[in-house]
A and B are shown apart, each in its own frame.
Chain A
Amino acid sequence: DAKTTQPNSMESNEEEPVHLPCNHSTISGTDYIHWYRQLPSQGPEYVIHGLTSNVNNRMASLAIAEDRKSSTLILHRATLRDAAVYYCILKCSGGGADGLTFGKGTHLIIQP
């Protein structure tokens, strides 16, 4: 799976939007972009995924650049419960080894 680059940490205020960036310049045409988050003392939680088009769900939105070399996870109105480590992961849709490759992610801090 191709590599992703994320900032180590970001800070935001409660009830404000948060934009978490991810660079994946070596992405291939068959790679899906997945986002997971891990709250303190919990297992990772699936947030959202996409291929080319922007995606929305009840948790977040995913904005994918036209060249697919970067993406942004958008939390529209952050709450204290959104404080977590956010992982951007590329997952190939083709054959081969399964499983997710986690980097260090972005530690999101929410200030009240």
Chain B
Amino acid sequence: DADVTQTPRNRITKTGKRIMLECSQTKGHDRMYWYRQDPGLGLRLIYYSFDVKDINKGEISDGYSVSRQAQAKFSLSLESAIPNQTALYFCATSDSSGRAIYGQFFGPGTRLTVL
């Protein structure tokens, strides 16, 4: 079974709809992240969470919100989706025992299309 899972894997929605993307991990890591990737570009950080009670904005948080329901679950919401939020979304986890030392582990991604 995959260590980091994302649901749904693909989603098509309409402008103005509320969308939630979910991420679960079995790695036991305390830190979780949400990134988006646009075609031909690298990933950009949306939000990150050090633990259940600690959530931080990343580079491009406008238009997004997150919820850390448990150590293993981190959800990303688009309250009112717009077409320029069409992108590939990745969840990732890391271990805080060495902040820059250990790598991040990524899920398979969710392809979101907003019409």
Q: Which residues of A contact B (CB under 8 A)?
A: 30-32, 34, 36, 42-46, 49, 87, 91-93, 97-105
Contact = CB atoms under 8 A, between A and B. Distances in A.
Interface in B87-115: 90, 92, 94, 99-101, 103-109
B58 to A, nearest CB: 6
Contact of B43 (A44, A49, A92, A93): A44
Given A44-B90, A44-B106, A102 B100 contact: no
A44 B94 CA distance: 13
A93 B99 contact: yes
Nearest to B103: A46
Contacts of A43: 4, 90, 92, 106-109
Interface string B48-69: 1010000010110000000000
Contacts, number: 62
How many residues of B sit at the interface, in one of the four size bands?
20 to 34
A92 B48 contact: no
A43 B9 CA distance: 12
Interface of B: 4, 31, 33, 35, 40-45, 48, 50, 56, 58-59, 90, 92, 94, 99-101, 103-109
Contact of B56 (A93, A98, A100, A101): A98
16 contacts: A31-B100, A34-B103, A43-B92, A49-B101, A93-B101, A97-B56, A98-B31, A98-B33, A98-B48, A98-B99, A100-B45, A100-B104, A101-B42, A102-B44, A104-B40, A104-B41
